[in-house]
Amino acid sequence: MRTVAAALAATGLLSGAVACGSDDGDDSSSTGAAGGDSSTAPSSAASGDPSDLMLQKADAPAGYGWNNVADVFDEDDDSVSDFMSQLRETGGDTVDPAECSGIVPDENALLLELHDHPDTTAVTEFLPHDDNDRTVIDGLVSTAHDAADQVPDDLSRCATFTRTSSLDPSKPPVTYHAQASDGAVVGAQDVHVITVVEEDPASPDNASDPVIIVTGTAEGVFFRVSAVGLKEPQILLDLADRQVARITGQPATK
């Protein structure tokens, strides 16, 4: 399962941003979310600008760097414009059942949304300083009125679902298995914790690293934090708490 970083890296568009995120010279590992430093708590009330609402550098867990995915969208870079045009032409992937598409977002559609609507959507990523650690943590906030519809009311219908690539329809559909439970984050509503595993058709008994996802809304803003291959799930829950704090303007509880 690919993340936004992988989708961009595949085109060469994220190489600079990844380098900045993973080689950040600041000592974020001593003041990040996992460290519990109170200095990282938000100090201002909620803003309507998603770039103000998303997780920031100060929220980075210990051992991770921070990167704003939107920074790769240099309008003077022809490769960015060409890639966006290609995504518009291919359209979104096909998911069955269709209502499950928001559980594992179509990175192509997400990139277009981020590029075309920076006034409503922001995405940030936390990348490990350790080059041998392939964990990627990402966070999304959206002020679009229908953003919360990405998560179906009945998640049991998405216990198993498939995705067919729009970029390469000749590829066989990818099958996902999801387990969901209700979660609790202070200040948030409709919180769900979802674990998704991508089935390996060549070796069904050898599934991919699980993706852990936390979604919810706070003051009408949809948020999502997720991670691939995360060994300490508590990090993700702490980030969800800090994400809600960013949205509400209240101090984080963790």
Question: Which residue from 169, 15, 164, 2 is spatially nearest to 80, judged by alpha carbons?
Answer: 15
Residues 6+ apart with CB under 8 A from 70: 51, 114, 115, 118, 122, 123
Which three-class secondary structure state does DSSP give residue 81?
Answer: helix
Give domain status of residue 32, yes or no: no
pLDDT tens per residue, range 2-43 = 445 454 544 333 333 333 444 444 444 444 554 444 444 443
Tell me if residue 3 falls in helix, strand or coil. coil
> Could you tell me if residue 77 is inside a domain?
yes
The stretch 217-233 carries a mean pLDDT of 90
CATH of the domain at 152: 3.40.1000
Cα-flanking dihedrals φ and ψ of residue 252, to 5°?
Answer: -65, 150
Establish if 52 belongs to a structural domain.
yes
Tell me which amino acid residue 135 is: T
Give the range of the structural domain holding residue 134, as residue numbers without chain letter: 4-24+47-248
Residue 199 lies in a domain: yes
Instruction: Determine the pLDDT at residue 207.
Output: 61
In the predicted model, what is the mean pLDDT of the chain? 79
Looking at the domain assignment, is residue 91 inside a domain? yes
pLDDT for the residue 147:
79
Higher pLDDT, 197 or 115: 197
User: Counting runs of H as helices and runs of E as strands, what totals does the chain give?
Assistant: 6, 9
The answer to whether residues 135 and 128 touch, using CB atoms and an 8 Å cutoff, is yes
Task: For residue 166, give both structure tokens.
Answer: 């729009």
* Total domains in the fold of the chain: 1
CA nearest to 216, candidates 239, 198, 234, 196: 239
Give the pLDDT confidence of 85-106 residue by residue, as tens digits. 877 777 678 899 999 988 887 7
pTM of structure: 0.80
Using CA atoms, how far apart are residues 121 and 111, in angstroms rounded to an integer?
10
C-alpha torsion angle, residues 135, 229, 147, 190 (rounded to 10): -130
Give the angle 53-55-58 at the CA atoms, nearest 5°. Answer: 120
Which of 246, 236, 245 minimizes the C-alpha distance to 215?
236
Quote the pLDDT of residue 58. 95
220 is a domain residue: yes
Residue among 94, 68, 245, 58 nearest 169 (CA): 94
225: phi then psi, degrees, rounded to nearest 5: -125, 140
Q: Is there a domain that residue 64 lies in?
A: yes
Q: Mean pLDDT throughout 185-203?
A: 87
Residue 213 placed within a domain: yes
Return the exposure string of 176-197: e unless at least 16 CB atoms fall within 10 Å of the residue's CB, then b.
bebebeebebebbeebbbbebb
